[in-house]
Amino acid sequence: MRFLDERVKTGLSAFSLKLGNAMKTTDYRGYILVGVVLLLSGARAWTQDSMLAATPPMGWNSWNHFACEVSDAVVRAQADAIVTSGMKSAGYTYILIDDCWQGTRDAAGYIRPNAKFPDMKALANYVHSKGLKIGIYSSPGPKTCGGYEGSYGHEEQDARTYADWEVDYLKYDLCSYDGMGDQVAAYKKMGDALKKTGRPMVYALCQYGMEKGWQWGASVGGNLWRTDDDIRDEYYTMAELGFGQNGLEQFAGPGHWNDPDMLEIGNGGMTTDEYRTQMTLWCILAAPLIAGNNLAAMDAETRGLLTNPEVIGIDQDTVGMQGHRIKQEGPIEVWMKPLKDGSVAVGLFNRGWGAMPVTVDFRDAGLSSTTVIRDLWAREDLGSFREKYTATVPQHGAVLLNIKRGT
Ligand code: GLA
């Protein structure tokens, strides 16, 4: 019973209670039917909950801030900080080691970490001891983007090594495989190798959206796939990636997500309003929320942007629908994301200079003329509105609303 979730357990005990009572009478067929239905619906809920990446993965990755300065000590310090900063409680649970951890292969071809990672299994144990999960990075090519050892020709060995270390997540980055052959086959090879280990590992494809990765990513076992080139800690690159996701929404859903790359919030290259735009847009997009800053030296403002529960709730909504643009007028954009409870999240964005009024017309969001609105960043109910709502949005800024049907 350890592996059954509460709904399965409730279904089972309700079933045995009813069956027990029914046995005392003679008409037990109806009860058996009820029990079977309860079991089936419980099992479905269990499958959904236990699905890898049922909602977009949340965590921290070493690349954006530390690049090749990553080490065992850095990873331990980030694991400590993700807990003490409140990030773990907000939902960030994956600690992801990106490029530059690899050493050489042993005589049998097994990969060994370099000197900065003296004992990968001990590091994984440390991360797990904090109730977190650990991820690692490789490439289908002979070399990673940083020039370290890739998995080419060693896919099964590497997958087995990751499983032995109890790794929970693999980012697999095209790098030197580009031009070497059929990349779909290369990604499938590692997807199959991961499955063969029997250990559930989130499989993150990183091939920058080449060959429309979103069309075949899930078929090779991918749980997420990058849709574009690398993010930089700068507004125009971030905006091009984020706003460029429109149209890809049909490829995202529970277990398989479009990935417009990691968060830069807290790295210093953007204003608070620009970082708010990244968080707002990524949540509307149901994008993976992978922080890329130094969690051990995070100020209160950064923490506030990364951990607002109502904002994160939009990203993690269990129906798993990626949002899309419903209006664009020059530098003004309005996006909406349908939510499980029938309400919608609406993002109001100003990509231009100076503050500007941005209006959402409720009909564009598929809503009735009367609505009730809550501002999710401010965590404040705004009241009832008819036909439309307008907010003044700062330069390069965003407002995130939850809009429900009114009466
Ligand atoms: C590529 C990826 C980045 C990062 C680096 C590491 O550029 O897109 O996210 O993993 O490689 O070398």
pLDDT at 407: 81
- Atom of ligand 1 at shortest distance to CA of 98? 10
Atom 6, ligand 1: which residue's CA is nearest?
99
Q: How far is the CA of 383 from the centre of ligand 1 (A)?
A: 45
Residues contacting residue 299 through CB under 8 Å, at least 6 positions apart: 266
Strands 102-105 and 111-113: antiparallel
Token pair of 5, please? 């979730």
Ligand 1 proximity of 178 Cβ (cutoff 6 Å): no
What per-residue confidence (pLDDT) applies to 124?
Answer: 98
334 alpha carbon to ligand 1 midpoint, in Å?
Answer: 31
Q: One-letter amino acid identity for 107?
A: A
Residue type, 362: F
Edge-first strand listing for the sheet containing 202-206: 257-259, 224-226, 202-206, 169-173, 133-138, 94-96, 58-61, 289-291
- Catalytic residue among 72, 158, 168, 173, which? 173
5 C-beta neighbours (distance < 10 Å), count: 16
231 lines ligand 1 (CB under 6 A): no
The pLDDT of residue 384? 97
Which residue in 354, 356, 346, 348 sits closest to 402, CA to CA?
A: 346
Mutate to test the pocket of ligand 1, among 143, 169, 206 (most ligand atoms within 8 A of CB): 206
Q: Quick one: which atom of ligand 1 is closest to the CA of 230?
A: 8
- Is 80 labeled as catalytic in the residue annotation? no
β-pairing verdict for 169-173 and 133-138: parallel
Q: What are the average pLDDT values for consecutive 10-residue runs of the chain, which has 407 residues? A: 32 35 40 46 47 98 98 98 98 98 98 98 98 98 98 98 98 96 97 98 97 98 98 98 98 98 98 99 99 98 98 98 98 98 98 98 93 98 98 98 93
In this prediction, residue 20 carries a pLDDT of 36
Nearest CA among 281, 150, 145, 171 for reference residue 223:
171
The number of beta carbons lying within 10 Å of the beta carbon of residue 231 is 21
CB-based contacts of 213, cutoff 8 Å, min separation 6: 205, 207, 222, 225, 226, 227
Nearest to 224 by CA among 247, 192, 199, 252: 252
Give distance in angstroms: CA of 145 to centre of ligand 1. Answer: 6
Instruction: Write down the pTM of the prediction.
Output: 0.89
SS3 101: coil
In the block, residue with structure tokens 């909950």: 49
Task: For ligand 1, atom 3, name the residue with the nearest CA.
Answer: 230
For 184, the 3-state DSSP assignment is: helix
* Residues 326, 348: Cα–Cα separation, whole Å: 10
pLDDT the model gives residue 50: 67
Atom of ligand 1 at shortest range from CA of 261:
9
Around Cβ 366, how many Cβ atoms within 10 Å? Answer: 10
Buried b (16+ CB within 10 A) or exposed e, 176-187: bbeeeeebbebb
The 324-329 sheet, strands edge to edge: 324-329, 332-338, 344-350, 398-405, 370-375, 380-386
pLDDT in tens, 129-161: 999 999 999 999 999 999 999 999 999 999 999
Q: Are 161 and 195 in contact (CB under 8 A)?
A: no
Q: Which of 98, 136, 143, 149 to mutate to test the pocket of ligand 1 (most atoms within 8 A of CB)?
A: 98
Q: What is the pLDDT of residue 368?
A: 87
Sequence-distant (6+) residues with CB within 8 A of 181 are none
Please say if 341 is a catalytic residue. no
Euclidean distance between CA atoms 74 and 188, whole angstroms: 32
CB 81 within 8 A of CB 295: yes
Four-point Cα dihedral 218, 219, 222, 226, nearest 10: -60
Q: How far apart are CA 61 and CA 76, in angstroms?
A: 12
Closest to 401 (Cα-Cα) out of 381, 175, 43: 381
What does 157-179 look like in DSSP terms, one character per residue? HHHHHHHHHT--EEEEE-GGGTT
CB 164 within 8 A of CB 197: no
